[in-house]
Structure 1
Amino acid sequence: MNNNHSQRSFFFNVDWVTVFLYLIFCTIGWFNIHAAVFDEKHPSFIDSNTHYGKQFIYIIAGVVVGMIILLLESRFIATLAPVFYVVTTLLLIVVLVIGKNVGGNQAWINIGGGFRLQPSEFAKFSTCLLLARYLSSVNIKVTEVKSFFIAAAIILFPMILIKLQPDDGSTLVFCSLIFVLYREGLSPYFLVTIGTMITLFITSQIYNEYYIMIIIVIIGAIIAYANKRNRQAIFKTIAVVAVCVGFVFIAKPLYNHGLKQHQRARIDVVLGITTDSHGVGYNQNQSKIAIGSGRLWGKGYLKGTQTKYAFVPEQSTDFIFCTIGEEWGFAGSVVVLGLYLFLLLRIIFIAERQRAPFSRIYAYGVASVLFFHVVINIAMAIGVMPVIGIPLPFISYGGSSLLSFTILLFVLIKLDSNRMGIV
């Protein structure tokens, strides 16, 4: 009787809405991968000689892995967090030694049968897990210097190893975990500072840096005058202005000497500093043509000319969104964006109903990683962000990508199913 009650409790506690969303995304991805690389010689959806056939295998594997996760004991997930982190870290070291170089990144380990493993994808999950484990520990406050630096080290260590591959896209994904620290008490001024630095860095590449410095000084003078009776506020304002002016002064040298030539070229195209629709800007230019040609309702399934004639490189992976835009149009694109928004809001809702800090923190890690992937991938496809090569969650082709996102999401679903307990 108790066993039957336990089974019923498990069934009703699992967030089937999120599970259903996962299956919808996998289906959308499968169909659009089929459209992106369709081969008349291999028309079957499950032909393992094609990307769409392999993706079908990955989806089945993902569903199996997801169901296995739901059958695990929740308490073991938090307990094994350091083990997962160590294993993925070791894999990141191994890939630097014996990894296969694809597209300039030594990021894959051959596992036979035409399949490859990308450790950096799984490192996102293990980092979220260990970060949640650490921040949920007793007497740990991210506002304390020691706790902040330990949390930052947990995030930075895999970032450094991934940067050595070098995989800039996957490296930047870990920056999204700053939102987890913010949710756990990090000062909003920290986010404002980062946002300000990014804004100044970008604007200093477009406009004359001396004009920007003058504007900063004028704004600072106005703020100081408004607080003329508050000496402490005036000193803070002067300090902030000095830092901003100093940063603008070094921004261009940092840009010219801190980034590689191809990275600068991609950013210059996005910022409109240069135009190169046949060179470094070719991928994005073709992607924008494909999305724009879909208009309101799209050209229809398997009828996209940009897609059919393979004008867009990496269309089943990094640029899968342009397939959606061309064949399903603006309407289809809005539906996909709406589904992602619903998923992210659902995850935040799940996060806020947790009793266990570990589960809440992990949920915000999941939301941060997914949000970063969705925003950057789509922004990249429509030409408002430089190409950095990260997949669209659950939709882009790739076994490592799909399985890592599956584990990331289903561990959250499992923790949520036990939300009345304390992990």
Structure 2
Amino acid sequence: MLRENQRRFKFDWIIIILFLLLVGFGYLNILSASHVGEIESYFDTSKLYGKQLMFLGLTFVLIVFILSFEAKFYERFASIIYFVAMLALIGLFIFGKDVNGARSWYGIGSMTIQPSEFAKFATALAVAKYISDLETNMETIRDQLRVAAIIFIPALLILLQNDAGSTIVYLAFFFVFYREGLQQVYLIIALSLIILAVLGLKYGVLITAIISTIILASVYFFRRKKRGSMIQYIIVLLVAVSFSYGVRLFYEHGIKPHQQNRISLWLRLEKDPVKLERMKKAEAYNLIQSEQAISSGGFSGKGFLEGTRTTGKFVPEQETDYIFSTVGEEWGFLGTSFVVLIFVFLIIRILYLAESQKSQFSRVYGYGVASILFIHFTINIGMVMGLIPTVGIPLPFFSYGGSGLWGFTILLFIFVKLDSNKINEW
């Protein structure tokens, strides 16, 4: 299992360099966001920047460990790794520690470990293993349901632990399924449901029903060939209206008040100016401070350790979910553009290498890695800039935390290992 491979591996150094740029620049911003007063020692583990430096040191040990295994190990033991990860998630209900209202951590002395961060790479491995074993393109409903269950199980366990942000990440696998042959109709259905949900919340069920009727009537009358029975269109309309109504009920009775307020602020549902101002102070405080920090950075930023809102601790949780606001204030438009470009290049590079794989397992896993990073990157930056509702989700390789850093590192470097050892050489 751990025996030394005789030939020399050729790792993709572009991915490794992009990774180093992200963790290095991320640490500088964690240092800026977490330090108070004069920095006496960067290795002071009583400070967040000292702990993060320790996490970084252990990360490089972890990378060596990951790369020391044979590439075939990750395919052979994918199911076992997934099973262990699910047990770790289940164990949280008994031994877990509550942090900020979510039961998502194990307490180990003064440290905490978040299993959901490791469940992502385990699920990506399991999905890749199942799809590659099919030797088909998920053509049957049975196969589609089984592979959907692989991602539904961890998503449900994490949701039950009150960690909605991490649950959303599992939508990333939809991109993987689409690449592997999932019919286009599923994509259309998914986009339609998202639009219906937003319309139902923003304009109400009646307006949504009218819009849906107009669209379906237009499709029916202008689609001369294969238009189908009118009964089918009526059924689709009823389903659309029922779904919109269900989303409205869930919004009003199925989620917590602070979650309602976040959605309300995002869609601008509240009309009462007094209540709106109260909601902003309670639920949008982080966002408002984050936006002000980013905008104050201008083109080139205020300089490293010179951000007044960052050093003044105006933005809560700035070293974790809101770390991008530190980049905006201290490094400006140039710094934020640099971070965005690095992530874009990394994701494109992973997709390019995934397409070059001769093993379906490696290709599917590569798409899983790219999709997970894309969802995290898009949601985190969109959240910090107020483009999407606030959810607790870190910026990969950038936000403070050992579990997140190690989870993303394992996710990425398993693919680096798979890419270094192509199927034709196994």
Work out whether the TM-score is over 0.5.
yes
Question: In structure 2, how many angstroms separate the alpha carbons of the residues matched to 1:238 and 1:384?
Answer: 35
Q: Deviations over 1:204-238 (max 9, x none)?
A: 21114322221221222222111245442755544
Going from structure 1 to structure 2, the CA distance change for 1:359 and 1:249 (only over 3 Å counts) comes to: same
- Which residue does the alignment assign to 2:424? 421
The one-letter code sitting in structure 1 at the alignment partner of 2:355 is: E
Per-residue CA deviation, residues 1-37 of structure 1 (Å, 9 max, x unaligned), is xx99944x41xx2101101111111101110000001
2-structure distance, mates of 1:136, 1:234: 40
CA shift in 2, pair 1:4/1:87, >3 Å: closer
Cα distance in 2 for partners of 1:270, 1:213 equals: 22
- Equivalent position of 1:67 in the other structure: 64
CA distance in structure 2 between the aligned counterparts of 1:239 and 1:27, rounded to whole angstroms: 55
- Counterpart among 86, 101, 106 of residue 89 in structure 1: 86
Alignment-derived partner of residue 198 in structure 2: 202
Q: Which amino acid aligns with 1:157?
A: I
Structure 2: how far apart are the matches of 1:239 and 1:14? 53
The answer on 1:49 being equivalent to 2:46 is yes
- Once residues 116 and 184 of structure 1 are traced to their aligned partners in structure 2, the CA distance between those partners, rounded to angstroms, is 37
Are residue 115 (structure 1) and residue 111 (structure 2) matched? yes
Q: Is contact 1:95–1:108 with CA below 8 Å preserved after alignment?
A: yes
> RMSD across aligned C-alpha pairs, in angstroms?
1.9
Kept in 2: contact 1:265–1:280 (CA 8 A): yes
What TM-score do the two structures reach when normalised by structure 1? Answer: 0.94
Q: In the alignment, is the contact (CA less than 8 A) between 1:227 and 1:233 conserved in 2?
A: no
How many Å separate the matches in 1 of 2:393 and 2:372?
11
Q: Is the 8 A contact 2:113 2:403 kept in 1?
A: yes
Match of 1:319 in 2: 322
1:81 CA displacement: 0.9
Q: Please, which moves more after superposition, 147-156 or 266-275?
A: 266-275
Q: Equivalent residue for 1:303?
A: 306
CA distance, structure 1, for counterparts of residue 367 and residue 210 of structure 2: 39
TM-score (norm 2): 0.94
Partner of 1:343: 346
Q: 5+ residue gaps in structure 2?
A: 271-275
Number of equivalences: 417
Q: What one-letter code is carried by the residue in structure 2 that aligns with 1:36?
A: A
Aligned match for 1:164, one of 156, 160, 170:
160
Q: Deviations along 1:290-348, whole A, 9 cap, x unmatched?
A: 11111111111111111111111100001000000111111110110000000000000
The equivalent residue for 1:179 is 175
User: Which secondary structure state, in structure 2, belongs to the residue aligned with residue 94 of structure 1?
Assistant: helix
Amino acid at match of 1:44: S
Distance 1:60 1:50 in 2: 16
Cα gap change, 1:371/1:5 in structure 2, threshold over 3 Å: closer, same or farther? Answer: closer
Moved over 6 A (4+): none
- Per the TM alignment, residue 46 of structure 1 is displaced from its structure 2 partner at its CA by 2.5
| Contact kept in structure 1, 2:4 and 2:68, CA below 8 Å | no
Match of 1:330 among 317, 328, 333: 333
User: Which residue of structure 2 lines up, in the alignment, with residue 31 of structure 1?
Assistant: 28
Shift of 1:47: 2.0
Deviations along 1:15-66, whole A, 9 cap, x unmatched?
0110111111110111000000112254433322211111111111111111
Alpha-carbon spacing, 1:421–1:46, altered in 2? closer, same or farther (3 Å): farther
Identify which of 292, 298, 304 aligns with 2:295. Answer: 292
State, as a whole percentage, how many aligned pairs show the same letter. 41
Partner SS for 2:280:
coil
1:354 touches 1:419 (CA, 8 Å); kept in 2?
yes
The farther-off stretch of 254-263 and 333-342 is: 254-263
Q: Which letter does structure 1 place at the counterpart of 2:291?
A: K
State whether structure 2 residue 123 is matched by structure 1 residue 127: yes
